[in-house]
Amino acid sequence: MSRFRFKQFEVIQSATPMKVGTDGVLLGAWVGLDGAEGRILDIGTGTGVIALMLAQRTAEAEVWGIDIDPVEEARLNGDRSPWSARVHFEQTPVQAFSAEPFDLIVSNPPFFIESLQCPDRGRTLARHAVALPFEELIEAVERLLKPEGRFAVVLPLTEAARFEALSADKLRVIRRTEVRTTPRHPAKRLLLEMAHIGSSRAAKPTDELMIGTGEHETYTEEYRTLTRDFYLKF
């Protein structure tokens, strides 16, 4: 059985097409929490790893994870975690999901819209905007997010630019972090935190996160600090 162990919980991921990866862990550790999150939604939850990270980071928040694919492993991971009483998973497309508005919504969504699709259907659904086009994700976020709530997402730079353009009349960026793997490489990912156009939340300047120092398997102190509550190696 394939497992990924964190400091406070373990993720079983034998059946889930997309395993625990850097993008999801980055998003779960990076998204800002101000202590006012009573309800959190993870769209495209997969193994439930981001939902569990957010449950760990909040004292009382109720966390929901939804996915178009089966969520049995996510439920198992939630049941085996210290936060089983307040982590819930449901198999449903977000387009059909109905609930009271959320204080925080997060998503590590499908992307690579124009690239060739993988022949394996599971990985196709996870990696390509087939079941969840950006337009429909934006519409769902607008519908499910509280007026002063926040939405956080991680995307490659090109796809992030397209996402911002598509959401320009509905959501505005209030926090942006460019992610670089090493000093020698350009930014590969963008972490975005967004709010409703009419929200009173102030925007912060763009910043940068460097994962590695450039030395073999050596990580920056910034990355260690961000993820040390989760990764065993830190």
Share of the chain above pLDDT 90, in %: 83
Q: Which of 204, 223, 205 has the alpha carbon at shortest distance from 213?
A: 223
**Locate tokens 């198999």: which residue?**
91
pLDDT digit string, tens, across residues 108-151: 987 544 443 444 544 544 444 466 899 999 999 999 999 999 99
**Helices vs. strands in the chain: H and E counts, helices first:** 7, 10
Tell whether the model's pLDDT for residue 16 goes beyond 90.
Answer: no
Mean of the per-residue pLDDT values of the chain: 91
Percent of the chain with pLDDT over 70: 91
In the chain, where the domains are located: 3-227
Burial class of residue 216, CB neighbours in 10 A (0-12, 13-18, 19+): exposed
User: What backbone phi and psi angles, to 5 degrees, belong to 179?
Assistant: -110, 125
Contact predicate 132/68, CB 8 Å? yes
Write the DSSP string, 140-175. HHHHHEEEEEEEEEEEEHHHHHHHHHHTTTTEEEEE
CB-side neighbour CA atoms (13 Å) of 71: 23
The pLDDT assigned to 23 comes to 95
From the list 132, 130, 95, the residue with the least C-alpha distance to 114 is 130
CA-based nearest residue to 209, from 53, 33, 30: 30
Report d(CA 108, CA 46) in Å as an integer. Answer: 10
The 10 Å Cβ neighbour count of residue 174 is 18
The C-alpha angle with vertex 89 and arms to 83 and 94, in degrees rounded to 5, equals 135
pTM across the whole model: 0.92
DSSP state of 136: H
CATH match of 3-227 with 3.30.365.10: no
- Exposure class string for 143-155: b at 16+ Cβ within 10 A, else e: ebbbeebbbbbbb
More reliable by pLDDT, 71 or 217: 71
As a whole number of angstroms, the longest Cα–Cα distance in the chain is: 47
